[in-house]
Amino acid sequence: MTTRLAFLFPGQGSQAVGMGNDILKEFPETREIFEHVDDICNKPISRLCFEGPIEDLTLTINLQPAITAVNLACLAVLTKAGVKISVSAGHSLGEYGAMVASGVVTPYDALRLVNMRGDLMHREALAHPGVMVAVLGKGIDEVSKVVEVAKKKGVISVANHNTEEQIVITGEAASLQYATDLLNEQGGAKVIPLPVSGAWHSDLMKNAVDDFRHFMEGIKFSRPKSTMLFNATADTEESPEKIKDIMALQLTSPVRWYDIVIKMIDDGIDTFVEVGPKRVLSGLVKKIMPKGSDLKIYSAGNVKGLMKLLEAVK
């Protein structure tokens, strides 16, 4: 089918009650992942994935290991089937699936990392409350200028550059409201508040950076065996210690998703596979890819999607 295939791993916002349940029933090799996540978190994360309730599943302390477990279950199926990739990347939390796909960490250690990451981010969200909004219809330069002006009201920054004109900003409520008012005055953009429990990828998370970096000292990181593009740099990195630094700084750095996908397309990737629940990243790729492009996009987040992909790559 292709010689240039990318795995994309979703993050927070892709959750749904029931995720992973059909995969566990169909592919017994995934059982270990769900057993590990329950053991590491010392609570029934797998049951939250399968049965909810959505209110508990959506709490970041539960959601981070839950999404990661489902991502890794999908990856385990594809790995056992021998699907070969050229590059991997993950959106925010999804980077931990990409690190497993590229051989940087083991699935077990990825679950340990996201469990700690979720705890630290939850801690900082309670200590330093904040909000996030999506800005649709303006480019990164225009939004960045508004963010710079709004800094006089408090902490604010770009969180995600998702597509050319889909940008998420993050920070304290007063500064986000000021930026929203400026954007509304300028016109030409739609501003949508996001249902999140913290100001992710902002300096409100900065007190978690050193604690998370310290935790990573007890985890073995290896040199990537295949190419991985990182959120904070939109580039590769080979040094395990530098990867740890990047993953710690990711807590306060913007997700450069648009740059990552453009780089993949420029490097000749012709097939994208979303390895995890829903189709959020598939939708972003469709918005980024050139008009008239013949790029292929697969969503491999359930049994039906996985089987369709495996049939295509035979």
Tell me which residue has tokens 């509304």: 184
Give pLDDT, residue 164: 97
**Rounded Cα gap, residues 138 and 141, in angstroms:** 8
Tens-digit pLDDT profile for residues 100-127: 999 999 999 999 999 999 999 999 999 9
Give pLDDT, residue 314: 77
Residue ranges, CATH 3.30.70.250, the chain: 130-193
Cβ neighbours for 26, distance < 8 A, ≥ 6 positions apart: 303
Give pLDDT, residue 247: 98
The one catalytic residue in 92, 157, 175, 282 is: 92
End-to-end CA distance of the chain, in Å? 8
**Residue 158 φ then ψ, to 5°:** -80, 130
Tens-digit pLDDT profile for residues 29-79: 999 999 999 999 999 999 999 999 999 999 999 999 999 999 999 999 999
Is 88 one of the annotated active-site residues of the chain? Answer: no
Give pLDDT, residue 2: 53
Give pLDDT, residue 313: 87
The one catalytic residue in 36, 91, 161, 201 is: 201
Segments of the chain scoring below 50 in pLDDT: 1
The fourth-level CATH superfamily of domain 130-193 is: Malonyl-CoA ACP transacylase, ACP-binding (3.30.70.250)
Given CATH 1.10.15.40, say whether it is the number of domain 5-126+203-312: no
Asked whether the whole model's pTM tops 0.85, one would answer yes
Is 92 one of the annotated active-site residues of the chain? Answer: yes
Give pLDDT, residue 1: 47
How would you classify residue 263: left for phi > 0, otherwise alpha for psi between -120 and 50, otherwise beta?
A: alpha
